[in-house]
Amino acid sequence: MTSRPIILGIVGDSAAGKTTLTKGIAQVLGPDNVTVICTDDYHRYDRSQRAEIGITALHPDCNYIDIMQQHLSLLRTGQPILKPVYSHKTGTFEPPQYIKPSKFVIIEGLLGYSTRIARDCYDVKVYLAPPESLRANWKVKRDTMKRGYTAEQVLAEMEKREPDSEQFIRPQRQWADVVVSFYPPKDASGEDASHLNVRLVLRPTVPHPDFTEILEQSKVDSMPAIRLELDRDMGKPVDVLEVDSHATKEQVSKIEKIICNEIPDLLPFCSLEGNPELGKLIGTTGETLESYPLALTQLMVGYHMIKATHLESTKAVPLEGSRV
Ligand SMILES: Nc1ncnc2c1ncn2[C@@H]1O[C@H](COP(=O)(O)OP(=O)(O)O)[C@@H](O)[C@H]1O
Ligand SMILES: O=C(COP(=O)(O)O)[C@H](O)[C@H](O)COP(=O)(O)O
């Protein structure tokens, strides 16, 4: 048991898939072990005030970033918070909620990495970056089905938000340890969620599993379903792991082994054998979807969270003679 919660950040634009990935990871780690916080609750203005002022929810001035930061720092040290509550249903605020952090805390939202103090609170930072066309489809589908907007209203809102997306949301990609982009394969006719590939940008800000074997294989085979390349992201060197939707169970299990060999207690949480929830997600219409690219994404995030737990428990044991 670590002395403080392990904090995962999931940041990205509206409808980039933050809530979906958060739910999947919470399911994989066991919902009772996870506290989820959505930073939309820190909006400074309600929906009608925003319209009146002419500010979008993506602008830092439209959010209590200072209070979000304070709460992040409290959660990191295991302390409770009294969190504001924003309702996407009514566009107004509801009574605050008392929240005590569990073993793992997932903070998902638009501006989670916008300040250094906030960034320093996370153990693992993920940024979601689907292609803009896919995000627009996801947003139209979700906001028309679940948030009461028309498709025209959603598209007009996206256009209005674009300058703030460019200035405040997308630059946060640079702070992520892992950038996740689900994308449709080139030959895909639609955007069936079970057929999306994933591209994982792995920054050297955290130590990733040793994928040398995959790198060697990628040099020999032409376009294997799972491949690793050295690349650059925002100008900086990174590893890129890509998983195609048609990867086989054997190929996925091979990666799983590489990851779990290093951290055996990942197995019950994160292997296809050990956890039937891995790689599953609930689609917009409530349907259950299953995908290996999603399973490996959840596995990678789980790996970093469990690893952070180990690092923390090593730190928590004082070295002999270190007490004064
Ligand atoms: N990995 C994914 N695969 C398939 N569909 C997804 C995925 N992530 C998100 N979606 C779709 O996009 C919609 C918006 O995702 P959501 O998680 O609500 O985004 P956010 O929380 O970033 O606003 C969801 O309703 C779902 O239909
Ligand atoms: O962009 C988002 C964030 O939510 P998400 O990342 O889940 O899309 C919402 O549009 C704002 O919170 C404003 O809400 P509203 O639409 O209620 O005015």
Segment among 27-41, 213-227, 299-313 with least mean pLDDT: 213-227
Is 45 inside a domain boundary? yes
- Confidence check: pLDDT of 319 > 70: no
What gap in Å lies between CA 304 and CA 288, rounded to an integer? 26
Q: What single DSSP character describes residue 209?
A: P
At 84, the pLDDT band (50, 70, 90 cuts) reads: very high
For residues 108 and 182, state if they share a domain.
no
Q: What is the ipTM of this complex?
A: 0.96
Amino acid at 14: S
pLDDT at 321: 47
- Confidence check: pLDDT of 163 > 90: yes
- Confidence check: pLDDT of 231 > 90: yes
Is 171 inside a domain boundary? no
Is 118 inside a domain boundary? yes
What gap in Å lies between CA 127 and CA 16, rounded to an integer? 9
pLDDT (mean) for 234-246: 95
pLDDT in tens, 248-270: 988 888 898 888 888 877 777 66
pLDDT at 239: 96
Is 317 inside a domain boundary? no
For residues 11 and 90, state if they share a domain.
yes
Q: Is residue 25 within 6 Å of ligand 1 at its C-beta? A: no
What gap in Å lies between CA 51 and CA 161, rounded to an integer? 12
Segment among 165-169, 212-216, 297-301 with least mean pLDDT: 212-216
Is 163 inside a domain boundary? no
What gap in Å lies between CA 196 and CA 321, rounded to an integer? 53
What gap in Å lies between CA 222 and CA 238, rounded to an integer? 21
pLDDT at 29: 85
For residues 111 and 45, state if they share a domain.
yes
For residues 289 and 210, state if they share a domain.
yes
Atom 5 of ligand 2, residue of closest alpha carbon? 14
Segment among 133-142, 165-174, 310-319 with least mean pLDDT: 310-319
For residues 105 and 199, state if they share a domain.
no
What gap in Å lies between CA 80 and CA 83, rounded to an integer? 9
Atom 12 of ligand 2, residue of closest alpha carbon? 40
Is 42 inside a domain boundary? yes
At 1, the pLDDT band (50, 70, 90 cuts) reads: low
The answer to whether the CB of 72 falls within 8 A of the CB of 35 is no
Residue 188 or residue 245, greater confidence: 245
Q: E-assigned strands of 184-235? A: 197-202, 226-233
- Confidence check: pLDDT of 322 > 50: no
Q: What single DSSP character describes residue 319?
A: P
Ligand 1 centre to CA of 15 (Å) is 6
For residues 111 and 237, state if they share a domain.
no
Q: Is residue 146 within 6 Å of ligand 1 at its C-beta? A: no
Give the 3-state secondary structure of residue 112.
coil
Give the 3-state secondary structure of residue 168.
helix
pLDDT in tens, 38-62: 999 999 999 999 999 999 999 999 9
pLDDT at 96: 98
Mode of pairing for the β-strands spanning 288-290 and 280-282: antiparallel
Residue 270 or residue 119, greater confidence: 119
- Confidence check: pLDDT of 138 > 70: yes
Atom 7 of ligand 2, residue of closest alpha carbon? 14
pLDDT in tens, 285-295: 777 888 899 99
pLDDT (mean) for 1-7: 83
Name the residue range of residue 102's domain: 1-126
Name the average pLDDT for the chain: 91
Q: How far is residue 60 CA from its own chain's centroid?
A: 20
What gap in Å lies between CA 47 and CA 32, rounded to an integer? 32
What gap in Å lies between CA 239 and CA 65, rounded to an integer? 32
Is 323 inside a domain boundary? no
At 275, the pLDDT band (50, 70, 90 cuts) reads: confident
- Please tell me the total count of domains within the chain: 2
Is 4 inside a domain boundary? yes
- Confidence check: pLDDT of 103 > 60: yes
What gap in Å lies between CA 17 and CA 10, rounded to an integer? 9
Question: In the listed set 93, 126, 159, which residue is the last one of a domain according to the structure?
Answer: 126
pLDDT in tens, 187-223: 766 556 568 999 999 999 999 999 988 877 777 777 7
The answer to whether the CB of 254 falls within 8 A of the CB of 270 is no
- Confidence check: pLDDT of 323 > 50: no
For residues 107 and 14, state if they share a domain.
yes
The answer to whether the CB of 80 falls within 8 A of the CB of 96 is no
For residues 75 and 201, state if they share a domain.
no
What gap in Å lies between CA 157 and CA 134, rounded to an integer? 16
Atom 16 of ligand 2, residue of closest alpha carbon? 88
For residues 192 and 81, state if they share a domain.
no
Question: In the listed set 85, 107, 126, which residue is the last one of a domain according to the structure?
Answer: 126
For residues 205 and 120, state if they share a domain.
no
Q: What is the CATH number of the domain that holds 8?
A: 3.40.50.300
Pull the structure tokens for residue 191: 């955007």
Q: How far is residue 131 CA from its own chain's centroid?
A: 16
What gap in Å lies between CA 139 and CA 146, rounded to an integer? 10
What gap in Å lies between CA 201 and CA 146, rounded to an integer? 31
Atom of ligand 1 nearest to the CA of 23: 17
For residues 185 and 249, state if they share a domain.
yes
For residues 307 and 184, state if they share a domain.
yes
